Amino acid sequence: MPELPEVEHVKRGITPHILHQKIIDVTFSKPVQAGKTQGKATIIKGMGLSEFEQQTCGYVITDVQRRSKYILFQLQNGVHQRILISHLGMAGAFFVVHSLEEIKIPNFRKHWQVIFQLDNGVKLVYADIRRFGEIRNVANLSEYPSILEIAPEPFAPDALAHFLTKSSEKKYRHKAIKALILDHRVISGCGNIYACEALFDARIHPEKKVSTLNIEQKTKVFNSVVKVLEMGILNGGTSVSDYVHADGQRGTMQNHLKVYQQKQCSDCQSIVHTVTIAGRNTHFCPNCQS
C-alpha cells in the first residue's frame, strides 16, 4: 500500500501538468460502472456516477495537496468549490498522458478506472489493479470525517507533542508500539514498511508495549519515523509491489531497507524475524531491537 512518501511523489508528479486546468469530461471504466449498477461503491464513493460527473466537470483544479496518504484536489467553478479526495488503496496510481497507450506498464494501462479529461489536452488517469482505492467529491472535508481524525503531518511543529499526548491515552498504553505508529490518529502517513524501518532505526522491539516506553524512547521512535519517511521521499518511495511514479518510473527506497522483507539484519547479520502485529507482517532484528 502506498504510504506517505509514495503518495507525495505521485502528487509531485501530476501537479505541474494539471494545476489550473479545467476538467471538461470524466470517463468511468466498465468495472466502475458495473459496480455502481450492482450497488457497490467501486472507486467512486459517496455519490452516484452522474452526480460525480456533474460536480466535477467544469471545475478548475486550483491546488493539489497531500494529507497523510490522501491526495486532495481543490476544485473551483466560479463561486462554487469542491474537493476530490483520493486514496490509492493497495495498488492505485495516477498517470498524466495524452492517450492510454502512453501508460508504460501493461497492468495499469489495462486496469484504468477513471479518466479526467483536461482542457489542455491532458488526461489525468486513475488506474487501480485491485480496485481498493477510492475517489470522493465533497463540498468540504467535514463531509468525510475520517480525514479530520488524522494526526498532524509528521513534519509539522506540533506532530511530536500530539504523538506523545496520544501515546499516553489509556486506549493506546497497552498496544504494541508497532500498532501505535500504524494508527493514523497518532502519527500520519506511516504504513507497514516505514513502521518496520523506523523501529529498527530506533532499536525498539515492535512488540514492546507503549506503557513500558519512557518519554525519551517515544521521542526516539517518533524521530525515527520522520527520518525514514524523509528517506523514502528522498529515494522516490518504495517500489516492492505495484507502486510507480506518475511517469511510470520506480522508486529506489527498496534498495535501502534494513529489515522489511530482508533475510538478514543489515547491521549484525542476524536472521530477521517476522511476527504479526495489528494484522501486518512485522520484520525486526531480535539482536538489535530490544
78: left (phi over 0), alpha (psi -120 to 50) or beta: left
**Is 2 considered catalytic here?**
yes
Q: Active site residue: 3, 6, 134, 197, which one?
A: 3
**Is 69 considered catalytic here?**
yes
Q: Buried b / exposed e across 141-158, counting CB within 10 Å, b at 16+? A: eeeeeebeebbbbbeeee
Q: Buried b / exposed e across 246-261, counting CB within 10 Å, b at 16+? A: bebeebebbeebbbbe
Q: Active site residue: 11, 136, 208, 280, which one?
A: 280
**Is 280 considered catalytic here?**
yes
Q: Active site residue: 2, 5, 154, 206, which one?
A: 2
Q: Active site residue: 69, 123, 131, 178, which one?
A: 69
The residues annotated with a catalytic role in the active site are 2-3, 69, 280
